[in-house]
Structure formats: structure tokens, C-alpha cells
Amino acid sequence: FFQEEDHQPLKGKKVLITAGPTREFVDPVRFFTNRSTGKMGYALAESAVELGADVTLVSGPSNLKPPYGVQFISVQSAEEMYESVLSHFDNVDLVIKSAAVADYRPRERHQTKMKKSDQDLSIEMDRTKDILKELGNRKSKQILVGFAAETTNVKHYAQQKLEKKNLDLIVANDISQQGSGFEGDTNQVYIFDRYGKEIESTLLSKKQVADMILNESCRLLEGLNN
């Protein structure tokens, strides 16, 4: 379904969205991951298509069906997501990084299944690359939107991430609150832009939150700062 032309503010714009968790394998059968389902990112992709954008969705493992009309790229690890996102970055107008990217991955990936022994096990972990921070360093014309998943000092940490990663907009959710963050169909968010605008949403569906984020992104793409 396509809306009428004058409701398509993203017509002709290229939008890159990341969604879902990543998987960091330690052997052929085991991996580190997190609770992300991809719902927020897929809702964003759907909203962006409705607004007329040319949408690429880079997704970690998720059970969801890619929204109609998106260019879909499936990845597993943070490293694969990094490669995919960086390869598209120069050509896009707007990037929304809703993926829950692993911060660490096992130093070693065993080629065969690890066998148990009588000893305890500890696994050495290396930091993954911060994809969003890299985009913030490289950005030219692009509008960059990040997420912040927090359990304490939500607004403070979110504002720190906005600055540190050179973002235009950040969407923060308090994942310790009922109805917010992982797995559910609803979300309650704070949205901050780089010019000091602050929005606190009520408890909304993830699709409504997606529409709100895209609305703010369109405003920034048009160069309107309030």
C-alpha cells in the first residue's frame, strides 16, 4: 500500500536501518547473543517504506518477516554487520541503528565443538567494533540516529552517547520498565536531538514509536532544527 505522493517526505531518500541481535560464536553450536527480537527495527523499516524511502534493512537473526518493499540483508555477527553497514554508508541519507550489537565476542572461535572437562571454563572476550561510533566519525551529509538501552540514568547516558558518537538523534529506552525495550510490542522512549530538543513519549506501540522517530528524522533531514 502506498500513501499519496504528498505524504511521502522520504521519496528519493535512501534509508539504512539495522535491527535485531548479533550472534558471536565460540564454537559451531554455541554463541553469545541478547534478548533483541528485531521488532523495533522492522517497525522502523515498515514506516520508512510507507514514507516513500528506498530502505535497506540489515538484520541480525530474527523470526520476523522483512517488511514488504525493503532490500533485506541478513547478518549474524557484529563484524558482519559492520562490513555491511560500512559498505552502504556513503550512499545513504539516513541511518537508524536500532540493532542490539554485541559489545564483546569470544577471542577464539573453535572449529570443532568444545568438550567439557572437569575444570570450570572461562572464555576470553574481545571488544567488537562500535559501528555507530565509526559512522559518527565518518559522516558527511548523513543524518545518524542511534539507540540507547539503559537500566539506570537513562537520560544522562543517552545524552552522553549522542555526543560521543556524533549523532543527530538518540532514542533512549529504560529497559527495566514494564512495556519498554526488549521483546514486547510496546515502547516508551526519550528522544533527544543534537540541538537540545527533548521528547518523552507515552507508552506506545513500536510502530507508533517508529513513526515518531521517522518524523523527527525527516525534520532533521530537511535541516529544520526545531
Q: Between residues 44 and 99, which has the closer beta carbon with respect to ligand CTP?
A: 99
Partners of 224 in the β-ladder: none
Of 39-47, 96-104, 106-114, 198-206: span binding ligand CTP (CB under 6 A): 96-104
C-alpha span between 129 and 131 (Å, rounded): 6
Q: Between residues 18 and 52, which has the closer beta carbon with respect to ligand CTP?
A: 18
Query: What kind and span of H or E run contains 129?
Result: none
Set 34, 63, 137, 225: catalytic member: 34
Q: Give the position of cell 572437562.
A: 117
**Count of alpha carbons within 13 Å of 162, Cβ hemisphere only?**
20
**What b-and-e string marks burial along 146-161, b requiring 16 or more CB atoms within 10 Å of the CB?**
bbbbbeeebeebbbeb
One-letter amino acid at 74 equals S
53, 78, 144, 220: residue in contact with ligand CTP (rule CB under 6 A): 78
> Residue 90 has which C-alpha cell?
556513503
What's the closest the beta carbon of residue 83 comes to Ca ion, in angstroms? 19
Q: Give the position of cell 554485541.
A: 102
Q: Between residues 70 and 131, which has the closer beta carbon with respect to ligand CTP?
A: 131
Q: Is 101 in the site for ligand CTP (CB under 6 A)?
A: yes
Q: Is 187 a catalytic residue?
A: no
DSSP string, 33-82: --S--SHHHHHHHHHHHHTT-EEEEEE-S-SSPPPTT-EEEE--SHHHHH
13, 14, 105, 161: residue in contact with ligand CTP (rule CB under 6 A): 161
Query: What kind and span of H or E run contains 74?
Result: strand 71-74
String marking each residue 24-63 x if it binds ligand CTP according to CB under 6 A: ----------------------------------------
What's the closest the beta carbon of residue 158 comes to Ca ion, in angstroms? 13
Task: Assign 8 to helix, strand or coil.
Answer: coil
Dihedrals φ, ψ of 89, to 5°?
A: -55, -45
Q: Between residues 93 and 103, which has the closer beta carbon with respect to ligand CTP?
A: 103
Q: Between residues 97 and 206, which has the closer beta carbon with respect to ligand CTP?
A: 97
103, 114, 208, 219: residue in contact with ligand CTP (rule CB under 6 A): 103
Contact yes or no for 93/139 (Cβ under 8 A): no
79, 80, 103, 130: residue in contact with Ca ion (rule CB under 5 A): 103
**Ranges within 120-159 binding ligand CTP (CB under 6 A):** 128-132, 146-149
Task: Summarize as ranges the residues that interact with Ca ion (CB under 5 A).
Answer: 103
The residues annotated with a catalytic role in the active site are 34
Query: Could you tell me which residues are annotated as the binding site for CTP?
Result: 103, 113, 147, 161, 165
